Amino acid sequence: MKVIVSKTYEEMCAKAARIIAAQLTLKPDSVLGLATGSTPVGIYKELIRKYEEGRLDFSEVTTVNLDEYVGLSGENDQSYRYFMNHNLFDHVNIPKEYTYVPSGVAEDPEDECENYDLLIQQLGGVDMQLLGIGGNGHIGFNEPADSFAEGTHLTDLTESTIQANSRFFEKDSDVPRRAITMGIGTIMQARKILLVANGESKAKAIYDTLYGPVTPQVPASILRFHPDVTVLVDEAAFKLVAEKE
Ligand code: F6R
């Protein structure tokens, strides 16, 4: 694993965006795996800026997102489809039909999961997967568990994740309890992975990912077995590792 520590969130985002831009320059028809949440927002802003400056072209790019809440349609402003449109897709020249997010309102969610893995296979796999990390070490919505889930699947969100997400919803009862997420197996098949984390609330998860045992109790720890992972963190998220070194 390559670890890049930045002083600030902005610096971390600029570096992550540069890595993604290099990927798209080298392979304009890349399949990008994307994440939602607060962490990648600054990265998407940087990508939009590069596009507006004429330095980046998304016309041949395909994207597949990690996850979506069950029960929320793409029109719901808390859905991950809405987030992606709003934070990236509406601002660059990517054809919307090349952007994939699992459907949270599929008639048969099990089928939706199976079809999502088939889709990724048909696209030839993910070239570069962007990941955030939960305070509990989750990636996508692969929560701490007794085993690593393979493919895209339905999952119950843990109480800590529901709490973390509740800041985006008016009422606690509105916070979705289930999600569709790529599995650990799906994520591990990406050719390159970028894991980004900022802020002290991620310090323990980053420490455990880099130095703890590889265990499904810290889902991100499996990334140590992937041959091409870059971890981008700010100093706050790196704090516990820096104290150890
Ligand atoms: C989002 C996702 C989640 C987030 C994680 C961190 O698509 O899969 O794993 O990356 O919960 O979220 P933030 O960035 O909001 O701290």
Domain that holds residue 198: 2-244
Ligand 1: which residue has its CA nearest to atom 10?
132
Give CA–CA dist 59/37, Å, rounded: 24
Average pLDDT over residues 228-243: 97
Q: Pairing relation of β-strands 62-65 and 153-156? A: unpaired
* Structural domain total, the chain: 1
Give CA–CA dist 187/150, Å, rounded: 9
* Ligand 1 pocket test, candidate residues 34, 66, 72, most atoms within 8 A of CB: 66
Q: How far is the CA of 56 from the centre of ligand 1 (A)?
A: 25
Q: How far is the CA of 119 from the centre of ligand 1 (A)?
A: 22
Residues flanking ligand 1, CB < 6 Å: 35-39, 66-67, 132-134, 138-141
Q: Pairing relation of β-strands 67-69 and 2-6? A: unpaired
Average pLDDT over residues 10-15: 98
Inform me whether the pLDDT recorded for 154 exceeds 90: yes
Give CA–CA dist 54/214, Å, rounded: 42
Banded model confidence at residue 173, pLDDT cuts 50, 70, 90: confident
How far is CA 3 from its chain centroid? 17
Q: How far is the CA of 158 from the centre of ligand 1 (A)?
A: 13
Inform me whether the pLDDT recorded for 200 exceeds 80: yes
Q: Which CATH number belongs to the domain containing residue 232 in this structure?
A: 3.40.50.1360
Looking up tokens 């889709």 gives 119
Give CA–CA dist 6/180, Å, rounded: 32
Give CA–CA dist 190/126, Å, rounded: 5
Percentage of the chain lying above the pLDDT 70 cut: 100
Q: What is the pLDDT of residues 17-64, one digit of tens each?
A: 999 999 999 999 999 999 999 999 999 999 999 999 999 999 999 999
Inform me whether the pLDDT recorded for 125 exceeds 80: yes
Inform me whether the pLDDT recorded for 245 exceeds 90: no
Q: What is the pLDDT of residue 164?
A: 82
Inform me whether the pLDDT recorded for 244 exceeds 90: no
Other Cβ atoms less than 10 A from the Cβ of 111: the count is: 10
Q: Which has more pLDDT, 191 or 163? A: 191
Banded model confidence at residue 160, pLDDT cuts 50, 70, 90: confident
> What is the pLDDT of the chain when averaged over all its residues?
96
Banded model confidence at residue 168, pLDDT cuts 50, 70, 90: confident
* Residues 6 or more apart in contact with residue 97 via CB below 8 angstroms: none
Percentage of the chain lying above the pLDDT 90 cut: 91
Average pLDDT over residues 197-204: 98
Inform me whether the pLDDT recorded for 105 exceeds 90: yes
Average pLDDT over residues 101-130: 97
Banded model confidence at residue 82, pLDDT cuts 50, 70, 90: very high
Banded model confidence at residue 158, pLDDT cuts 50, 70, 90: confident
Inform me whether the pLDDT recorded for 172 exceeds 90: no
The tokens describing 166, both together, are: 């509740």
Ligand 1: which residue has its CA nearest to atom 2?
140
Give CA–CA dist 1/193, Å, rounded: 10
What count of Cα atoms within 13 Å lies in the side-chain half-sphere of residue 16? 37
